Structure 1
Amino acid sequence: MTGSSGPKDDSSLGENLGMGIDHSSLFYIHPFDFPKQLHVNEVLTDNNYVNWSQEMKNFLFAKNKFEFINGTIKKPEKGSADYMPWMRCDAMLKGWLTTTIEKNIRNNVKYASTASEMRSDLRERFGKETSPRAYELKRKIAVIRQDGSSVSTYFTNLRSVWDQATSMQPFPRCSCKGCSCDIGKRVNEFQEKERLYQFLMGLDSDFNVIKTQILATKPTPDLSAAYHLVAKDERQRMISTEKRNQPESAAFKAFQRREGSFNKERNYQKIVKDNRETKEYETCTFCGRNGHKKEGCFKLVGYPEWWHGKKEKGKPKTVACAEPCPIPIPELTNEQYQIFVKHFLVQATMRGYKRGA
């Protein structure tokens, strides 16, 4: 009998080690599972035990391993067929827990003999109600505000703090059998009304109208209904703002085009003015006078036919008058008449420059 029991024990051990364990078994470990995996979004610190504990609980339920850390599955005796599978699962759980704990905290719990003891130690240190933590949560609820964020983001942040406070200080429940006072229902209604007021107090001033409408409604809407009313008001305001901005944008673009055309015209006039001023202050290197260059000097290239006045020495290309022209003013000599004409030509030229500028 002793010889026949050996192979049977070996077969049972191999089955429990995972070679033939059913996937629904508590001792089953997936081939891709290993101790140093990080399976939660938050690492345990001094201030987030509630969130961390909830995420770890969900993960261990999904892995069918939560009963190992809540004490339901006790450690089997050595020599039992379930001893080695249990030890393998417990070692995997301790690896998962230590990976999701901050280093300073990990050093204090990593020598726990079982995963259940590790979890009990963490709950004792961080999970129990403490006055400073409760005060911190109450104060956070009192000061949290929307501050320009969306209604959805603000409500989500506020509900997260509510859940933490409820986990830290749960409301009392009636433990009487056959109780007909409905104290549990009344406590829930009281809690919902408190949360409704806290939600409305933290909203931005843009929602003063909808807040007044909610508070004036009889009976007062519950928290869920009030949230949907505020979110609907926010959406309608966004739509109205988008419609109002469209014509303003078109008008702004038209103004930009009009201003651009005006700037182009103004720049063109400035360029013309600058050219005229530049030409006015040009100095001829041949005759030494202003207003023209050497290439256009009449003394050098000759006077045109329309030029009236005395022709000075140069290289005439055309002759304005082949014969002496009679003087229109008999009282003046020829020299006096030429000075008179020259004076009026200079005055006309200056008026032309001023008119063009």
Structure 2
Amino acid sequence: MVESGGTSSGNAWTRNNPLVSQDMSSVFYIHPSDANTTQLVSVKFNGTGYSNWKRSIMLSLSAKNKLGFVDGTVIKPVASHVDFKLWERCNDLVCSWLLCNLDDSISRSVMFFKTAREIWLDLEERFGYASMTQIFSLEQHLTELEQGSKNVSDFFTEIKSIWDAMSDISPLPCCTCRKCTWNVTQKVLQMEQDRKLLQFMMKLSDRFATVRGDILMQQPMPIISNAFGIFSQEERHQSLSQVTQQTEALAFMADNKKGLKKSNGNYKGSQIAGGATGFKKNTYFCTHCNVAGHSVERCFKLHGYPPNFKFKDRKVAANVSVNSSGISNDNAVNSGISVAQYHQLMDLLNKQNTSGAGSSQISSFDH
């Protein structure tokens, strides 16, 4: 399609007009790198996000000095005009660019339009309308938007994209009389800036409450870009302060760990997990008296209390004594006999071991 103007008559006209064909400021100038299969935007238009795609295409066409072929400023000359062949070649090139940057299904629907202007108007009629459904969707997204875990830069980018989409769908009114002495347009723009700034600050985290209060006290309030810079600096300051506090806390834990290791040999060591410090728990448990704190090998009730043991309960101290054989009287109390009977039984057993007497001595035992 690009070579449609490359006829012999066209080449003859170009040879007769070398200045026009080589003038880079002319709308008919085509750079050697301008291929008809060039993709002007990163994503092809598939029916959604028309405003963003339209903006990207217009920027690319303007950079190539071909925007006039879609907005209607470059009017098609008559067939007998000297510029007709140049216009036809550039128009075909712009049509190729538009088709290459559309999805296959949409591209087929505008394939047989003759001019780039017709393709552009058809896309505008189908996808460029502003409906209340689109405005409702953007307003709902803006209402539900919160900073959450996002940083200030990412959050500002997200909310600004919504503002730009709403401005494209429903632009602000402006005065065009050029005789207005009330500066209505400037006042409307200032009110819109203040409204956006308030929305931005309302949806930030509470950790920016101090800076937010300082900005609200200013008269007049700063523009939205300056406010974004202030909150970004505050976020970096808070990040540095948090790192410093964590470093100091870890150093304090390390000093405490060294001190506890020196003062307590049974200290297991600090376990830093979520800021908590753990100590080694006592795992001793006596299976004889079912009491934690000592093992069965060190149970005083089973092996006897040591001399000069200090009892906390006087009743227990009165019922417990250590005999010459090292056996505790506490076992005698638990067996159901009195202390006097226990001593008599022990004397009888000692006599039996020394004299070898039989059962006659046991029968003489006085119950």
TM-score tier (shorter): 0.5 to 0.7
- Larger mean CA deviation between 54-63 and 11-20 belongs to 11-20
Match of 2:24 in 1: 23
The whole-number CA distance in structure 1 between the counterparts of 2:10 and 2:114 is 27
**Does the Cα contact within 8 Å between 1:75 and 1:86 map onto a contact in 2?**
yes
SS at match of 1:154: helix
Q: Structure 1, residues 236-295: CA drift from partner, whole Å, max 9, x if none?
A: 101112222334455677899999xxxxxx9xxxxxxxxxxxxxxxxxxxxxxxxxxxxx
SS at match of 1:133: helix
The whole-number CA distance in structure 1 between the counterparts of 2:10 and 2:103 is 42
Pairing 1:169–2:170 present: yes
Residue 199 of structure 1, CA deviation: 0.4
Pairing 1:228–2:229 present: yes
Q: Structure 1, residues 16-62: CA drift from partner, whole Å, max 9, x if none?
A: 79995222221111222212211213322333122111111111111
Pairing 1:85–2:83 present: no
Unaligned 5+ segments in structure 1 are 1-6, 260-265, 267-357
Residue 165 of structure 1, CA deviation: 0.7
Q: 1:250 to 1:9 in 2, by over 3 A?
A: same
- Matching of residues 306-321 of structure 1 within 5 Å: none
Residue 234 of structure 1, CA deviation: 0.7
The whole-number CA distance in structure 1 between the counterparts of 2:174 and 2:157 is 26
Q: 1:253 to 1:162 in 2, by over 3 A?
A: same
- Matching of residues 20-169 of structure 1 within 5 Å: 20-169=21-170
**Does the Cα contact within 8 Å between 1:18 and 1:28 map onto a contact in 2?**
no
- Larger mean CA deviation between 126-135 and 11-20 belongs to 11-20
**Does the Cα contact within 8 Å between 1:16 and 1:85 map onto a contact in 2?**
no
Q: 1:73 to 1:54 in 2, by over 3 A?
A: same
**Does the Cα contact within 8 Å between 1:44 and 1:102 map onto a contact in 2?**
yes
Q: 1:257 to 1:108 in 2, by over 3 A?
A: farther
Residue 117 of structure 1, CA deviation: 0.7
Residue 80 of structure 1, CA deviation: 3.3
Match of 1:206 in 2: 207
The whole-number CA distance in structure 1 between the counterparts of 2:22 and 2:77 is 18
- Matching of residues 158-197 of structure 1 within 5 Å: 158-197=159-198
Letter aligned with residue 35 of structure 1: N
The whole-number CA distance in structure 2 between the counterparts of 1:249 and 1:169 is 54
The whole-number CA distance in structure 2 between the counterparts of 1:114 and 1:93 is 9
Unaligned 5+ segments in structure 2 are 1-7, 261-267, 269-367
The whole-number CA distance in structure 2 between the counterparts of 1:72 and 1:23 is 18
The whole-number CA distance in structure 2 between the counterparts of 1:19 and 1:186 is 47
SS at match of 1:135: helix
Structure 1 vs Structure 2 CA RMSD? 3.2
The whole-number CA distance in structure 2 between the counterparts of 1:84 and 1:17 is 14
Equivalent pairs, count = 258
Q: Report the TM-score, using the length of structure 1 for normalisation.
A: 0.64
**Does the Cα contact within 8 Å between 2:50 and 2:127 map onto a contact in 1?**
yes
Q: 1:25 to 1:169 in 2, by over 3 A?
A: same
Letter aligned with residue 117 of structure 1: E
**Does the Cα contact within 8 Å between 1:196 and 1:223 map onto a contact in 2?**
yes
Q: Percent identity?
A: 28
Letter aligned with residue 89 of structure 2: R
SS at match of 1:174: coil
The whole-number CA distance in structure 1 between the counterparts of 2:18 and 2:253 is 75
